[in-house]
């Protein structure tokens, strides 16, 4: 939307229903100067025009705005707090963590760097028929580096969704790259993008 169209939407939002004369007045413009923008906003379904009443919001968002949002918003703006444990944490303590933190995936670090990812199914697979969960470290059940799908701050939400679908995972660690002296690349965990998080962000956008 153009700056002018955004201004019109803001005016209609706060004063609806409002006539085109009144919108023109607020913007110090003539009605004729507004005609094109008002018809675009009506045709795209953002505004609705009722004869003898005026313009009001329809509450609908055009599909291209949703696509714009998904293609432009960045991982750094929507990532949430990661739940991280150390490689030597027991499977039992990780499961307790899963419930306490209300998440489905836990990230595992070693020496402060990403070492693994562990999800509900990993725990279930391991736990069936066993009683030694408090003695087994999470490193025995996790998916390890370098097989971990990661995201970086400047990737888009569209990219995050594509990675989740392509690799069939529910949650992806957001990482910062760190190259210590030995030349081996290591990743700091800076956040998480989960399916639940994405649904929450889209819900908030639609509520707005
Ligand atoms: P769930 O176990 O709840 O179905 P997922 O579908 O995310 O959760 O996990 C399926 C498998 O993929 C598990 O073995 C898990 O360790 C692994 N996994 C989860 N997230 C990632 C990721 N970001 N990168 C690589 N593997 C992952």
Task: Decide: 121 in ligand 1 pocket, CB within 6 A.
Answer: yes
Q: Where in the chain is the domain with CATH 3.10.580.10?
A: 70-207
User: 208 versus 127: which is more confidently predicted?
Assistant: 127
CATH architecture, domain defined by 3-60? Orthogonal Bundle (1.10)
Q: Give the position, in ligand 1's atom list, of the atom nearest the Cα of 143.
A: 16
Q: Are strands 84-86 and 105-110 parallel, antiparallel or unpaired?
A: parallel
Q: Is the pLDDT of residue 152 over 70?
A: yes
Q: Where in the chain is the domain with CATH 1.10.10.10?
A: 3-60
Task: Decide: 119 in ligand 1 pocket, CB within 6 A.
Answer: yes
Give CA–CA dist 94/166, Å, rounded.
27
Phi and psi (nearest 5°) for 205? -65, -40
Instruction: Please state, in angstroms and as integers, the Cα–Cα distance from residue 10 to each residue in 13, 35, 83, 174, following that order.
Output: 5, 17, 39, 35
Q: Are strands 113-119 and 105-110 parallel, antiparallel or unpaired?
A: antiparallel
pLDDT at position 208? 66
Give CA–CA dist 143/126, Å, rounded.
13
Give CA–CA dist 11/27, Å, rounded.
9
Give CA–CA dist 192/114, Å, rounded.
12
Mutate to test the pocket of ligand 1, among 117, 145, 192, 197 (most ligand atoms within 8 A of CB): 117
- Average pLDDT (68-79) is 92
pLDDT at position 1? 75
Task: Decide: 202 in ligand 1 pocket, CB within 6 A.
Answer: no
Mutate to test the pocket of ligand 1, among 84, 91, 94, 105 (most ligand atoms within 8 A of CB): 105
Task: Decide: 169 in ligand 1 pocket, CB within 6 A.
Answer: yes
Give CA–CA dist 77/208, Å, rounded.
16
Instruction: Please state, in angstroms and as integers, the Cα–Cα distance from residue 106 to each residue in 80, 92, 117, 183, following that order.
Output: 13, 13, 6, 27
Q: Is the pLDDT of residue 140 over 90?
A: yes
CATH entry 3.10.580.10 includes domain 70-207: yes
Span 157-184, pLDDT tens digits = 999 999 999 999 999 999 998 766 666 7
| Two structure tokens written together for 97 | 């963590």
Task: Decide: 163 in ligand 1 pocket, CB within 6 A.
Answer: no
DSSP code, position 151: B
Q: Are strands 54-57 and 186-194 parallel, antiparallel or unpaired?
A: unpaired
Q: Give the position, in ligand 1's atom list, of the atom nearest the Cα of 149.
A: 24
């Amino acid at each position: 939307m153009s700056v002018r169209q955004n201004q019109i939407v803001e005016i209609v939002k706060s004063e609806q229903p409002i006539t085109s004369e009144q919108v023109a007045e607020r913007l110090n413009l003539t009605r004729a100067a507004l005609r094109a923008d008002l018809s675009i906003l009506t045709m795209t379904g953002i505004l609705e025009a009722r004869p003898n009443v005026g313009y009001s919001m329809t509450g609908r968002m055009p599909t291209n705005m949703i696509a714009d949002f998904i293609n432009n918003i960045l991982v750094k703006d929507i990532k949430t707090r990661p739940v991280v444990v150390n490689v030597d944490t027991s499977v039992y303590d990780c499961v307790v963590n899963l419930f306490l933190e209300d998440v489905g995936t836990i990230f595992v670090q070693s020496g402060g760097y990403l070492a693994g990812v562990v999800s509900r199914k990993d725990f279930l697979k391991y736990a069936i028929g066993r009683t030694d969960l408090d003695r087994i470290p999470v490193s025995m059940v996790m998916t390890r580096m370098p097989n971990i799908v990661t995201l970086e701050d400047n990737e888009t939400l569209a990219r995050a969704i594509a990675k989740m679908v392509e690799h069939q995972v529910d949650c992806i660690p957001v990482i910062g790259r760190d190259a210590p002296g030995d030349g081996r690349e290591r990743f700091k965990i800076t956040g998480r993008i989960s399916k639940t998080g994405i649904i929450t962000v889209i819900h908030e956008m639609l509520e707005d």
